[in-house]
Amino acid sequence: NDTVFTFGGNAPHSNARQKDKTVTGGKGANLAEMASIGLPVPPGFTIVTEECLKYLAGGSDFSEKLRADVADALRHVEETVGKGFGNAADPLLVSVRSGAAISMPGMMDTVLNLGLNDETVEGLARTSGDERFAWDSYRRFIQMYGDVVLGVDHGLFEEALEIAKEDNGYYADTELSADEWKTLVAQYKSIVEEELGSPFPQDPIEQLWGAISAVFDSWDTERAKVYRRLNDIPHDMGTAVNVQAMVFGNMGDTSATGVAFTRDPSTGEKAYYGEWLVNAQGEDVVAGIRTPQYLTRARREAAGADKPSMEEAMPEAFAELSHLFDLLERHYTDMQDIEFTVQQGKLWLLQTRNGKRTAKAALKMAVDMVDEGLIDEKTAILRVDPMALDQLLHPTLDPDAPRDVLTTGLPASPGAASGKIVLDADTAELWANRGEKVILVRVETSPEDIHGMHAATGILTARGGMTSHAAVVARGMGRPCVSGASQVSIAREGRTLSIGDRELSEGDIITIDGANGQVMAGEVATIEPELAGDFGTLMEWADKHRRMRVRTNAETETECRMARQFGAEGIGLCRTEHMFFDAGRISAVREMILADTEKGRRAALDKLLPEQRSDFVTIFEVMAGLPCTIRLLDPPLHEFLPHGDTEFEELAEATGVPIEKLRRRAGELHEFNPMLGHRGCRLGITYPEIYEMQARAIFEAACQVARDSGDAPVPEIMIPLVATRRELELLKAVVDRVATDVFADTGTTLEYLVGTMIELPRAALMAGEIAEVGEFFSFGTNDLTQTTLGVSRDDAGRFLTTYVDKGIFARDPFVSLDVDGVGQLVELAVERGRATREGLKLGICGEHGGDPASIAFCDRTGLDYVSASPYRVPIARLAAAQASL
Ligand code: PEP
Ligand code: MG
């Protein structure tokens, strides 16, 4: 198998393997494809991802075959460009860049201008006729290579540059002369030598392999691992390496570099969007060192900026570029994110990929592209990441609420967020873990800040443009972000900051609006999201194409209403115990639990009956005839016990039972392993009167609603934590008896079902027998995961991230169903259950019902519906449609 593929010049047209992103990475595959269709791409070659994995597994060494193949490929580049790598008279320079199958912006390493040394820099100066450019490139190379490959702190180089600028009274890097760059190069080289004890490597071949190692190693850095974990990217893919002839955007005023999107990645609007810089190299744009200029005139004018747009300053190159934008968008039938360089008037494309986008933009582009005839409805459904919808479903700032605007930066990632100011990523994580909402405020962000950005509800930076690290990462994560707010000035030591003339401290609350770049003092009121428009259109298409139904896990009136707005088609799980915590009832609940006789329990239950009945009346009214699965009491009883002296005193007063007796009874109820203790249907078996009361409340409410409104509810009564047929049989008899009584008393008869949850391995194994009694199954995959893995769902947090990092689980099994293990039990129960009872109604109500990968599994397995929390209902609708396609 090839270890290296070439592209550009007379390289062979790319074959299936070279086009495969898992082999050559996204960047490599697209570079080859662009070169094949005749676009201006500098020639180069790609080392395949397998070599990365071999290198990492094999003690950081390269095979002889790889060395030989790279040498051949390098010759291809030399011949195409007509320059020699390491040739002092006319040197070829290359860039070395990572490129995984799934893009990880800013996460891995890049080295530019490789091939320069004390001799080739002179050659570059002569052939380019521009000494200044040659030395600027050399210092850039030492700085990047020093940082990325040799591990020298980049701050040391930046400091030297700052001092040089200060000494000369310069503001911008571009003001330094050739001689001043030469002096700086000498300083940079001594910095390297001092730090490493050996001189900066002069041999271009050694430089090349050093850079390749660094790219491979960057796959395994902590920040890359964190990024993959947050984005569900497997750790075993590896990265490709792209080595490509350099073209220079820093050859004077007819040269430039930039990044562009073919549509607006924030809003989805069909308008070119991007930034560029004259006389610069790529990293200048992204790193936020110089503030970039707008690409189009319209944008520049809208922003009131005075530096010319590319459209105005380089009309010819811009015209060609826009032609290529359209061509690439049609070719890939998706919005493209493009890097380009203009070298002395000639345009080059360095990269294209499907651009990252906000949920709002994804939605708009998908719907627009169907209208434009670029894609069909099914493709549109597949284009939107269901999880990203979450961003659209949450409140935005109320336009009428008062705003105390401190400053306005760039609207880098939409959405609004309020929270406490934190000044570094670790603090952000710490405070967020305490349950606080925080806004991470930084001069600019770097990949080391990822964990803090994830923990924060919003991000604010003082520097950097719309394509800066902060902006790109925030958009990807769905965090609101305001970047380039230049009035923000941070004093790290005092942990304070000033915005204009206002002084603030870490911990003060601010609000940011990523839609218009505003930064406000305090918290600003919010309004509910807009569910019509593009969202409505896409959801309509999704509903047309999905097989499974989508229900919700809900028990309050608000949740039920919200879920219906989001399109829920019924309730898949109403956890009745949640209703027991209401202030007015908890003491009756405690009285029931602590009673030591059936009589005592019944007295307390009589108090609860009317309350429960009214809960169910509300739910049935809101759900208006849609199916409602109501689960009888499930949790370990100790969850309801009084804690602390005050609660015991209150209870003693309310019930008239002496406090000592209450304490003793509470002690008796103590369990060592409550999750596997006296809970679920075991409560119903030992205290049938509890389930009796609940069944009565359900039926009385259903009869009342059937009489009062036309929409007769169909209650589906669900028994939790069943392990045996007999448990279900005994409890179904209780429910049926109550139903008969209530129907006789009220004179109203209703359809209803009695079914069970499958939450224990034994229940899954014995599903055939259990289906003789149970009229439906709902997979309680939270408990089924807990009991199958033997991992406590409440304690797993302490070690599961390590498990995911070490590749033991691809994802947290409580978030995304362990299809290989727990999934087998689900499949088995489906098969055995339906063998007994044809057409047995099947659903899932664990958290997995809102997880797209688990939803795809449910679709394959033939479940009838999934049930998810209200905000996840749209996610589930879209994921169910994607699963059907
Ligand atoms: C489950 O176990 O998956 C379930 C839905 O029940 P609960 O989360 O209430 O235990
Ligand atoms: Mg459960």
675: helix, coil or strand? helix
76, 451, 454, 469: the catalytic one is 469
> At 870, which amino acid appears?
P
Q: Is the pLDDT of residue 597 over 70?
A: yes
> At 285, which amino acid appears?
V
Q: How confident is the model at residue 396 (pLDDT cuts 50, 70, 90)?
A: confident
How many angstroms does the Cα of residue 827 sit away from the middle of ligand 1? 18
How many angstroms does the Cα of residue 784 sit away from the middle of ligand 1? 8
Residue indicated by tokens 């094999």: 58
Instruction: Single out the residue of 210, 211, 328, 310 nearest to residue 262, CA to CA.
Output: 328
Q: Which whole number is the average pLDDT over 305-330? A: 95
Give the tens place of pLDDT for each residue, 261-307. Answer: 999 998 899 999 999 999 988 777 666 567 789 999 999 999 888 89
Counting atoms of ligand 1 from 1, which one is nearest the CA of 783? Answer: 2
Q: To test the ligand 1 pocket, which listed residue (573, 793, 869) has its Cβ within 8 A of the most ligand atoms? A: 573
- Domain assignment present for residue 11? The answer is yes
How many angstroms does the Cα of residue 553 sit away from the middle of ligand 2? 12
| Helix residue spans in 202-288 (DSSP H) | 204-218, 222-231, 282-286
What mean pLDDT, rounded, does the chain reach? 92
Q: To test the ligand 1 pocket, which listed residue (629, 633, 719, 759) has its Cβ within 8 A of the most ligand atoms? A: 759
Instruction: Return the DSSP state at 174.
Output: G
| Helix residue spans in 297-445 (DSSP H) | 297-303, 310-313, 315-332, 359-371, 377-383, 390-393, 425-433
pLDDT at 373: 96
For atom 9 of ligand 1, the residue with the nearest CA is: 575
- Domain assignment present for residue 220? The answer is yes
Q: To test the ligand 1 pocket, which listed residue (574, 575, 777) has its Cβ within 8 A of the most ligand atoms? A: 575
pLDDT at 233: 87
Counting atoms of ligand 1 from 1, which one is nearest the CA of 778? Answer: 5
Ligand nearest to the CA of 577: 1
Give the tens place of pLDDT for each residue, 131-142. Answer: 999 999 999 999
545 among known catalytic residues:
no
State whether 226 and 266 are in the same domain: no
State whether 310 and 224 are in the same domain: no
Ligand nearest to the CA of 845: 1
State whether 240 and 278 are in the same domain: no
pLDDT at 386: 94
- Domain end marker among 354, 376, 411: 354
How many angstroms does the Cα of residue 761 sit away from the middle of ligand 1? 14
Ligand nearest to the CA of 633: 1
Residue 106: CB atoms within 10 Å:
20
Q: To test the ligand 1 pocket, which listed residue (629, 634, 782) has its Cβ within 8 A of the most ligand atoms? A: 782
How many angstroms does the Cα of residue 833 sit away from the middle of ligand 2? 19
Residue 577: CB atoms within 10 Å:
18
Counting atoms of ligand 1 from 1, which one is nearest the CA of 845? Answer: 5
Q: How confident is the model at residue 125 (pLDDT cuts 50, 70, 90)?
A: very high
How many angstroms does the Cα of residue 604 sit away from the middle of ligand 1? 26
- Domain assignment present for residue 388? The answer is no
Instruction: Provide the token pair at 193.
Output: 């030598």
pLDDT at 286: 62
For atom 1 of ligand 1, the residue with the nearest CA is: 780
State whether 176 and 100 are in the same domain: yes
- Domain end marker among 245, 271, 304: 245
Residue indicated by tokens 């009274």: 169
State whether 215 and 339 are in the same domain: no
Ligand nearest to the CA of 782: 1
pLDDT at 435: 86
How many angstroms does the Cα of residue 706 sit away from the middle of ligand 2? 30
pLDDT at 444: 85
C-alpha 281/C-alpha 132 separation (Å) is 14
Q: How confident is the model at residue 563 (pLDDT cuts 50, 70, 90)?
A: very high
- Domain assignment present for residue 662? The answer is no
Q: To test the ligand 1 pocket, which listed residue (632, 719, 844, 845) has its Cβ within 8 A of the most ligand atoms? A: 845
State whether 293 and 326 are in the same domain: yes
Q: What is the CATH number of the domain that holds 461?
A: 3.50.30.10
Residue indicated by tokens 């097989």: 547
Distance from CA of residue 504 to its chain's centroid? 31
Give the tens place of pLDDT for each residue, 769-824. Answer: 999 999 999 999 999 999 999 998 878 877 887 888 788 998 889 989 999 999 99
Ligand nearest to the CA of 779: 1
pLDDT at 496: 93
Q: Which residues line ligand 1 (CB under 6 A)?
A: 573, 575, 634, 759, 780-783, 845-846
Counting atoms of ligand 1 from 1, which one is nearest the CA of 720? Answer: 6
Give the tens place of pLDDT for each residue, 816-841. Answer: 999 999 999 999 999 999 999 999 99
Instruction: Return the DSSP state at 389.
Output: G
pLDDT at 631: 97
How many angstroms does the Cα of residue 634 sit away from the middle of ligand 2? 7
- Domain assignment present for residue 343? The answer is yes
**C-alpha torsion angle, residues 716, 719, 721, 724 (rounded to 10):** -110
Tell me the HSE value of 608 on the side-chain side, using a 13 A CA sphere. Answer: 31
State whether 236 and 262 are in the same domain: no
Instruction: Provide the token pair at 497.
Output: 């900051």
Q: Which whole number is the average pLDDT over 187-210? A: 96
Q: How confident is the model at residue 20 (pLDDT cuts 50, 70, 90)?
A: very high
Q: Is the pLDDT of residue 849 over 90?
A: yes
643 among known catalytic residues:
no
Q: What is the CATH number of the domain that holds 585?
A: 3.20.20.60
- Domain end marker among 289, 321, 354: 354
Q: Is the pLDDT of residue 583 over 70?
A: no
Q: Is the pLDDT of residue 493 over 80?
A: yes
- Domain assignment present for residue 664? The answer is no
Q: What is the CATH number of the domain that holds 331?
A: 3.30.470.20
Predicted ipTM of the assembly: 0.99
Counting atoms of ligand 1 from 1, which one is nearest the CA of 575? Answer: 9
C-alpha 596/C-alpha 665 separation (Å) is 8
Residue indicated by tokens 């974990």: 229
Contact criterion met (CB below 8 Å) for 228 and 100: no
Instruction: Single out the residue of 755, 744, 808 nearest to residue 779, CA to CA.
Output: 755
How many angstroms does the Cα of residue 138 sit away from the middle of ligand 1? 61
State whether 713 and 679 are in the same domain: yes
- Domain assignment present for residue 167? The answer is yes
How many angstroms does the Cα of residue 759 sit away from the middle of ligand 2? 6
Q: What is the CATH number of the domain that holds 180?
A: 3.30.1490.20
pLDDT at 451: 85
Q: What percent of the chain has pLDDT over 70?
A: 99
Q: Which residue has the higher pLDDT, 520 or 642?
A: 520
C-alpha 759/C-alpha 757 separation (Å) is 6
For atom 8 of ligand 1, the residue with the nearest CA is: 782
How many angstroms does the Cα of residue 676 sit away from the middle of ligand 1? 13
State whether 312 and 447 are in the same domain: no
Ligand nearest to the CA of 780: 1
Give the tens place of pLDDT for each residue, 153-175. Answer: 988 998 999 999 889 888 888 88
State whether 432 and 295 are in the same domain: no
For atom 10 of ligand 1, the residue with the nearest CA is: 783
For atom 6 of ligand 1, the residue with the nearest CA is: 780
β-bridge pairing 549-553 and 865-868: parallel
Q: Which whole number is the average pLDDT over 434-459? A: 89
Ligand nearest to the CA of 785: 1
pLDDT at 288: 58
How many angstroms does the Cα of residue 783 sit away from the middle of ligand 1? 6
Residue indicated by tokens 């040799």: 150
106: helix, coil or strand? coil
How many angstroms does the Cα of residue 826 sit away from the middle of ligand 2? 15
C-alpha 751/C-alpha 473 separation (Å) is 52
C-alpha 35/C-alpha 459 separation (Å) is 38
Q: What percent of the chain has pLDDT over 90?
A: 71
State whether 260 and 345 are in the same domain: yes
Domain with 436 in it: 395-527
481, 560, 681, 845: the catalytic one is 845
- Domain assignment present for residue 9? The answer is yes
> At 349, which amino acid appears?
L
Q: How confident is the model at residue 515 (pLDDT cuts 50, 70, 90)?
A: confident
Q: Which long-range contacts (CB under 8 A, 24 or more apart) does 91-94 make?
A: 91/115, 91/116, 91/120, 91/123, 91/124, 91/127, 91/204, 92/245, 93/120, 93/124, 93/137, 93/245, 93/246, 94/44, 94/208, 94/243, 94/244, 94/245, 94/246
> At 331, which amino acid appears?
H
State whether 188 and 274 are in the same domain: no
Give the tens place of pLDDT for each residue, 240-261. Answer: 999 999 999 988 899 999 999 9
Q: How many structural domains comprise the chain?
A: 4
Q: Is the pLDDT of residue 448 over 80?
A: no
Contact criterion met (CB below 8 Å) for 437 and 420: yes
Lateral strand order in the sheet of 293-294: 293-294, 273-278, 256-261, 336-343, 346-354
